Structure 1
Amino acid sequence: MKKLELFEPAMCCSTGVCGPSVDEELLMVTSVFETFEGLETIEASRHNLTSDPDAFVNHPTILKLLQEKGNDILPVTLLDGEIVKEGAYPTLEEFGKYAEVQFVTQAANNSGGCCGGEGCC
């Protein structure tokens, strides 16, 4: 089983729906982690500097990285203990690669109506 860990900067919440506007990237990350909860092939955890500071202090790799580069390096993603991304959230494609799954997204239909101009389904 793979182990994916995401260490995020200080935020009031991790969902992306708090504050004056919705953060689409955080919504995607939240959805990905909810999907990972149902998989037996990956153990995924998210750590927010505000709500889970002990995770940062107790993880030698993250603690060293923060001491050397500061909080601006967050978010940091680890896969099986190795840093795979720092300074930005993984894309949906990267999350899929890490977990060896393929995410399917629905493209917006701009041709009118919910059935491409054919009326409602």
Structure 2
Amino acid sequence: MPAIRIYESALCCDTGVCGPDVDQSLVNVTADVRHLQGLGADIARHNLTSEPTAFTEDDMVRGFMHLVGSKGLPLTIVDGVTVATGTYPSREQLVRFAGLGEATGEAVGEATVEPRPRPDLGLTDASGGCCGGSTSCN
């Protein structure tokens, strides 16, 4: 199963439910990651505040941070391939990246959708912020 790693900027909370403004992208990715973990996917998030060593241990992430910096985060890597920068992948994209196919093996009519052997690797470049964009997480 592919390994999905999401590297995030310095966040005060991973859920997005902090401060006066809720960051819906954080709420969504928290639910999406938990959903995929429940399906057995190898997926993890790394926050620059709470896990700075995760950003230095991986050569690709370290190089990304050196060239682009934290403004390019979040960074999503699947089996060593960068698949998204500056935005979180959707649940559908994460399901594909995890090799779970269009569905999660649930019955579709009379048939069952089988997992794809490799994720569909698409690139995105939209950006988002922490705890409501430009507001702080105080």
Aligned length: 102
Name the residue aligned to 1:61: 60
Name the residue aligned to 2:10: 10
Gaps in structure 1 of 5+ consecutive residues: 104-121
Name the residue aligned to 1:85: 84
**Cα distance, 1:25 vs. partner?**
1.1
**Cα distance, 1:63 vs. partner?**
0.3
1:33 equivalenced with 2:33 (yes/no): yes
* 4+ long deviations beyond 3 Å: none
Distance in 1, matches of 2:61 and 2:94, equals 19
**Cα distance, 1:33 vs. partner?**
1.1
Distance in 1, matches of 2:93 and 2:67, equals 25
1:76 equivalenced with 2:90 (yes/no): no
Q: TM-score, normalised by structure 2?
A: 0.69
**Cα distance, 1:93 vs. partner?**
2.4
Please report the RMSD computed on the Cα atoms of aligned residues, expressed in angstroms: 1.4
**Cα distance, 1:21 vs. partner?**
1.4
Gaps in structure 2 of 5+ consecutive residues: 105-138
**Cα distance, 1:38 vs. partner?**
1.5
Name the residue aligned to 1:24: 24
Greater radius of gyration (CA): 1
Amino acid at match of 1:86: T
Name the residue aligned to 1:50: 49
Q: Is the 8 A contact 2:6 2:77 kept in 1?
A: yes
Percent of matched pairs sharing the same residue: 38
Q: TM-score, normalised by structure 1?
A: 0.78
